[in-house]
Structure 1
Amino acid sequence: MRLNAKQIAACTGGQFLVDAIDPSALMTGITWDSREVQPGWLYVALPGEHVDGHDFVEAALRAGAAGALVMQSPGRPACLLAREMGAAVIEVANTASAITDLAREWRGHLRGRIIGLTGSVGKTTTKNLVRDVCAAFGSTVATRGNQNNELGVPRTLLAADPETAVVVVEMGMRGMGQIAELCDFVRPDWGLVTNVGESHIELLGSRENIARAKAELFAALPAGTGRAFLNLDSPALGILMDAGRLGERPVALSGFDGHPDGAAVELYEREAVACDEVVWAEDVALDAEGRPCFTLCARDRADEGDLSLFAPVERCRCALALTGAHNVDNAVAAAAVGFALGLDLETIASALGASVPEPGRQEVIAARGGFTIVNDAYNASPDSMRASLATFAATDVAGRRIAVLGDMGELGSFAEPCHAGVGAAAAEAGLHRLICVGELAASIAEGAAAAGMDAARISRAATVADVLEELDTLLEPGDAVLVKASHFMGLNRVVEGLVR
C-alpha cells in the first residue's frame, strides 16, 4: 500500500480529527494489531468482543504509525500525541468496512496478475504452493496464513505494490454470496477452485450449493482476459462450469488432475471440457514418510485457431516435501498456474519440491521421547480427516499408530453421519489406538466400532489434559501419533504438551 492521508480519507469517507503534518506522505502498510505496527504504517482501530482497538491507538502511534483510522475519538492524550508526531487520525463510520474501501482503491493501482483461490479443503496448502511457483515467475504477494476472510482478503491486496507481478488471494466463505462480495473489490484476473467438499454444509445444505458458492469466483472473472483453473477430477465440475458461466463468456480454461486414471487427458482430447491447456500427474507413489513423487505432465493446444490440434506432452519428475497423496492434487493445481504463466516444468517441479507445510498442517515433529507427532490440528473437515488418516496409514512407522481425533464444525444436521464416516476411515487405517475428543467425536468412536475396530482400542477423552494423561502412559519410542480436529477444539495444545 502506498496511499497518503488525503487519499485514505477520501476513499473511506473519513473526517480528520488530527491532520497529518505532511498530507502527501505515503503510508506503506496496514494493521489492526498495535504490536505489528511499523514506522509509516496505518493503524486501524477495530472494535472487538473482548478488546477494543481504540484503546491501543497511543501504542500504535508510539510504534511509529503515520495514521490511525478510528470510529470515535481515541481521547485527548492520543490526539495530542498524534499532533506531536505529525500523524493523522481519521474518523470513519466503520473501520472494518474502511479496510475494504482502501483495498478497492488500491486494487486500481496494481498492475500484476491477481489470482483468486478457493475450495473446500486444502486452500491454504494450495495457496502456498501457488505462491512458491509464482515466485519463480516474478515478485509475488500471497495471503498470510489462512487470513482469507473479509479482513484478510483486503489486507492481501494492500500488501502488494504496483510492481508486484502476481498477487495470490485465498478466499474463504461461510455462505452464498460471500465470495462474490470479495470478488467485487479483488477483481481477480484468474480463478482457481481446488475442490468441493463438505465444509460449510451446515449453512449451504448440499455439495451442489457449496459448488455454486465456490463458482462465484469463476463468475467474477473478466471476459476476454480471465482464466479459470478447473479440477477435472471433481464430481462438481459441471456445476462449477454452469454456475460460473464459463460456457457463456470468453474465459480461458486450464484443467488439472492430480489422481489420474486417464480422465484428464480423455476429457481434454474429446473436448468435453475445452481447456486450452491441461496439467496432470502420472506414476504417483509415496515414499516411506508418505511424501508423494510423481511425473508432472502438461500439454497445451498446438494452435489456438484449431482446437483439434495438440502440442506434445511435456513431462518432468516431481517430489514433494509435503505428505499425503491428496497433496498431488494441490501441487498439480499450482503447476497449472505456473504453466499458464509460461514457466517450464523443471522450474515448476523445483518450486513445488521446495514448498514446506505450515505449522499445524501435516507437520511432522520428532519428539524427545523418541516418538513422532503428525500435527494436523489446525483445522478439519470430513474430507481432510479421511485424507490425513490415509496418509498416516501409508507412512512407515517403526512402532504403533495412534490417532487423536476431535470434533469437526459447521456440519449441522450432517454432523453425526460425517463423524461416523471418519470413524470408519479410522478403522481402516491400521491404528493401534483411537482417542476421540469432544461431544461430536463420540460418533467417530461409534463409526470406528461399527466398521470393525476393536472397542478395546477406542477411547473417549473430555479434555486435552485427559488426552495427555492417556498418551503419557501409552506412547513409546518408535510410535507415531496423529492429532487432528477443527481449530476450535484447541488440539494444538495436545501437540504442545507432547513436545515439552
Structure 2
Amino acid sequence: MVLNQKQKTKQLEEKKLNNFSLYELKKAPFLRGFFFIFDFMNIQDLHSAFLANPSISTDTRKIKENDIFFALKGDNFNGNTYAQKALEKGASMVVIDEEEFYVDDRTILVNDVLKSLQLLANFHRKQCKAQVISLTGSNGKTTTKELINAVLSKAYKTIATKGNLNNHIGVPLTLLTIQPDTEIAIVEMGANHLKEIEFLCKIAEPDFGYITNFGKAHLEGFGGVEGVIKGKSELYDYLTSNNKSIFLNADDPIQKNKLNTYTKRFGFSSEDPKYYTIQLLDAQPFVNLLVEDINIETNLIGAYNFSNCCAAIIMAKYFNVEMHEIKEALEEYTPDNNRSQIINTNGHYIILDAYNANPSSMKVALENFNSLEKDRKILILGDMFELGESAKEEHQSISDLAKSLNFEQVILVGENFYLTNNHFIKLRSFHDLKAYLKENSLPSKSSILIKGSRGMALERVLDLI
C-alpha cells in the first residue's frame, strides 16, 4: 500500500512515541525525504551512533574517514549545503536541520543542529567518569589551560580544549573528545556577553573551576568592567550553587572580596599564609618561582604569567601530583601560537604576543617589556577589538602609557590607534605597516614587542623584519 504524506507523518510520530531506535527510524522506507524531529528523548540513540564513530567534524575541508558531520550554520554559510560533500569525503553520517538536503539513510534530520551537538556533548559528559575542570577569565585562559594540562598529564589521563575552541561550539566539541579512560578534562570557556558562561556550564557541568582574572576584555558585549566581573563570575556561581569546588587566586583584589562567599575553595597566594604559598623570584625575562623550597624556572616571559603557573600548581597539588613532576612539567612547557613567544631573528630579540589583546593584557605586556634589561626597545602595537564606546579612550590610554615608558620607537597600527593623540608612527592598516617597513629598517639588534588583537594578525610582521 502506498502511503500519502499525512499517513507517513503519522507513522513517523508513532515510531517516535514508541521510542524506536535511531537505526530503526533510519531504515524505515517512508523516512526518506521527510523530517525526523530529534530531541532529548532519543539523544541516547545519537550517542550510540557517536560511540561507534567517535569523531565529529563541522568543516568538510577537514573531514576524516567515518567522521560524523554536524551541518552548523553561520552568518555567511549554511552547513546543510555540504551534507552530500561530507558523505562523499568519507563521513559516516551527517546531521542536518533542513530536509531539502537529505541525502540517504546516513542522514539524520533534526530541529536544530547546534542544539543537537550541545545536547550530545552534555549527554556524553554525563556518561563519562572524567572530572571536568573549567576555566575562564579575561586574559591567560589558553596558557593556563595548557599549563594545567601539562602538570596533570604527568599523573592522569587528560584531555584539554584544542587551541581556543572555547565557545558554544568549541566547548561541546571538547567534551566529545573525552575517552572512556579519560580521568580529567580541562575545558576552557570564553565569553563576550552575560549569561554565556552560565550556558556553557550547563553543557559542561564542571566539577571544578578557575577564573584567571577580570580585565578590560569584550567591554562592548559585557557593557563595561562590572559586566565582565559579573559574567566571568558565572563560573563560580554555578560551582557554588551545585556544591562544587573552585580554585582561586587569593591575591586578586576582585576575588579577594568574595572569598567568604565560596565555601569549597582552594587558593594560592604570595601574601596570605592561609593559602598555598608560592613566591615569584623574578621575571627577567622568564618567570622564576619558589614553591615548597623548590625553584622552578619556566620558559614563560612576563610576571603576568606567574599567576597562570600558580593555578597549575595548586590544581596539581589538589590532585596529588608529585612536586618533582610539577617542576618538570612547568620547566618543559614552551609557549607557541603567537603567545609571548621569544624569537631571535636577524639580530633582533622579539617577543611575539599577537595571539590577542585587550587594555588589561596590553598594559601588563608594556610594563613587563619596559622592565626587561634590554636595549633599543621598540613597540609594534595593533588595535584592540570589541571595546565598543570605550575604544577611543582605551587606545589613547595605552598610547599615553607607551609615551610615559620612553621606548626608543613606537609603531601603532590600526584605525583606532591611528586616531590617538601622540607623535608616534601611526599607520591605518597592516598594508601600510608593510610599506613602511620596506622603506624603513628597524635599528639593528633591537628588542621588539609585537602585540595586537587576533584580527590584526601581527605575526605577519616577522616576515618583514
Instruction: Tell me the equivalent position of 1:46.
Output: 72
Match for residue 210 of structure 1 among 228, 233, 239: 228
Over residues 46-85 of structure 1, what are the superposed CA-to-partner deviations in whole Å (9 max), with x where a residue is unaligned?
2233333233323322332211111124647x43xxx5xx
Matched, 1:379 2:356: yes
Instruction: Tell me the equivalent position of 1:61.
Output: 87
Match for residue 390 of structure 2 among 394, 414, 425: 414
One-letter amino acid of the structure 2 residue matched with residue 345 of structure 1 = M
One-letter amino acid of the structure 2 residue matched with residue 392 of structure 1 = F
Instruction: Tell me the equivalent position of 1:437.
Output: 413
One-letter amino acid of the structure 2 residue matched with residue 48 of structure 1 = G
Match for residue 483 of structure 1 among 439, 450, 458: 450
Matched, 1:148 2:166: yes
Matched, 1:461 2:436: no
Match for residue 112 of structure 2 among 85, 89, 94: 94
Match for residue 376 of structure 2 among 400, 411, 419: 400
Matched position secondary structure for 2:91:
coil
Q: TM-score, normalised by structure 2?
A: 0.85
Question: How far has the Cα of 1:414 moved from its partner?
Answer: 2.5
Instruction: Tell me the equivalent position of 2:4.
Output: none
Distance, in Å, in 2 between the alignment partners of 1:190 and 1:48 is 32
One-letter amino acid of the structure 2 residue matched with residue 192 of structure 1 = Y
Over residues 408-440 of structure 1, what are the superposed CA-to-partner deviations in whole Å (9 max), with x where a residue is unaligned?
122223223322221233224442111111222
Over residues 208-267 of structure 1, what are the superposed CA-to-partner deviations in whole Å (9 max), with x where a residue is unaligned?
33222222111222678621111112121255557xx52xxxx4211123xx3x2x22xx
CA contact (8 A) 1:392 1:429 kept: no
Over residues 264-320 of structure 1, what are the superposed CA-to-partner deviations in whole Å (9 max), with x where a residue is unaligned?
22xx2xxxxxxxxx3343252123xx1111102xxxxxxxxxxxxxxxxx3321111
Q: Identity percentage over the alignment?
A: 29
Change in Cα spacing, 1:441 to 1:423, as seen in structure 2 (3 Å) is same
CA contact (8 A) 1:100 1:185 kept: yes
CA contact (8 A) 1:380 1:486 kept: yes
Matched, 1:128 2:146: yes
Instruction: Tell me the equivalent position of 2:323.
Output: 345
CA contact (8 A) 1:405 1:435 kept: yes
Q: Map residues 230-245 of structure 1 onto 2, 5 A cutoff.
A: 230-238=248-256, 240-241=258-259, 245=261
Distance, in Å, in 2 between the alignment partners of 1:7 and 1:373 is 60
- Residue segments in structure 1 that go unaligned for 5+ positions in a row: 269-277, 297-313, 450-454
Change in Cα spacing, 1:24 to 1:293, as seen in structure 2 (3 Å) is closer
CA contact (8 A) 1:15 1:91 kept: no
Matched, 1:174 2:141: no
Instruction: Tell me the equivalent position of 1:471.
Output: 437
Change in Cα spacing, 1:25 to 1:343, as seen in structure 2 (3 Å) is closer
CA contact (8 A) 1:211 1:240 kept: no
Distance, in Å, in 2 between the alignment partners of 1:283 and 1:486 is 28
Question: How far has the Cα of 1:25 moved from its partner?
Answer: 7.0
Matched position secondary structure for 1:492:
helix
Question: How far has the Cα of 1:477 moved from its partner?
Answer: 3.3
Distance, in Å, in 1 between the alignment partners of 2:257 and 2:24 is 42
One-letter amino acid of the structure 2 residue matched with residue 45 of structure 1 = A
Question: How far has the Cα of 1:352 moved from its partner?
Answer: 1.4
Q: TM-score, normalised by structure 1?
A: 0.79
Change in Cα spacing, 1:24 to 1:154, as seen in structure 2 (3 Å) is closer
Distance, in Å, in 1 between the alignment partners of 2:435 and 2:408 is 17
One-letter amino acid of the structure 2 residue matched with residue 117 of structure 1 = L
Matched, 1:319 2:297: yes
Matched, 1:292 2:287: yes
Change in Cα spacing, 1:471 to 1:498, as seen in structure 2 (3 Å) is same
CA contact (8 A) 1:131 1:140 kept: yes
Question: How far has the Cα of 1:387 moved from its partner?
Answer: 1.8
Over residues 348-399 of structure 1, what are the superposed CA-to-partner deviations in whole Å (9 max), with x where a residue is unaligned?
12111212213121122233x33243221121011111122223223344x5
Match for residue 334 of structure 2 among 340, 343, 356: 356
Instruction: Tell me the equivalent position of 2:347.
Output: 370
Change in Cα spacing, 1:316 to 1:403, as seen in structure 2 (3 Å) is same
Distance, in Å, in 2 between the alignment partners of 1:168 and 1:320 is 21
Matched position secondary structure for 1:236:
helix
Distance, in Å, in 1 between the alignment partners of 2:66 and 2:385 is 40
Distance, in Å, in 2 between the alignment partners of 1:29 and 1:8 is 22
Matched position secondary structure for 2:124:
helix
- Residue segments in structure 2 that go unaligned for 5+ positions in a row: 1-20, 27-35
Instruction: Tell me the equivalent position of 1:281.
Output: 278
Matched, 1:220 2:220: no
One-letter amino acid of the structure 2 residue matched with residue 460 of structure 1 = K
Instruction: Tell me the equivalent position of 1:29.
Output: 55
Distance, in Å, in 2 between the alignment partners of 1:203 and 1:51 is 23
Change in Cα spacing, 1:240 to 1:146, as seen in structure 2 (3 Å) is farther
Distance, in Å, in 2 between the alignment partners of 1:183 and 1:7 is 34
Matched position secondary structure for 1:320:
strand
CA contact (8 A) 1:26 1:40 kept: no
CA contact (8 A) 1:69 1:89 kept: yes
Distance, in Å, in 1 between the alignment partners of 2:332 and 2:38 is 41
One-letter amino acid of the structure 1 residue matched with residue 229 of structure 2 = A
Matched position secondary structure for 2:327:
helix
Matched position secondary structure for 2:162:
coil
CA contact (8 A) 2:286 2:298 kept: yes
One-letter amino acid of the structure 2 residue matched with residue 125 of structure 1 = T
CA contact (8 A) 1:229 1:333 kept: yes
Question: How far has the Cα of 1:166 moved from its partner?
Answer: 0.6
CA contact (8 A) 1:121 1:194 kept: yes
Change in Cα spacing, 1:241 to 1:151, as seen in structure 2 (3 Å) is farther
Over residues 154-184 of structure 1, what are the superposed CA-to-partner deviations in whole Å (9 max), with x where a residue is unaligned?
1110011132011011111112211111111
Distance, in Å, in 1 between the alignment partners of 2:418 and 2:359 is 15
Distance, in Å, in 2 between the alignment partners of 1:63 and 1:38 is 7
One-letter amino acid of the structure 2 residue matched with residue 320 of structure 1 = T
Instruction: Tell me the equivalent position of 2:29.
Output: none
Matched, 1:165 2:183: yes
Distance, in Å, in 1 between the alignment partners of 2:136 and 2:49 is 38
Q: CA RMSD in A?
A: 2.9
Matched position secondary structure for 1:184:
helix
Matched position secondary structure for 2:364:
helix
Change in Cα spacing, 1:66 to 1:240, as seen in structure 2 (3 Å) is farther
CA contact (8 A) 2:130 2:178 kept: no
Instruction: Tell me the equivalent position of 2:8.
Output: none
Matched position secondary structure for 2:186:
strand
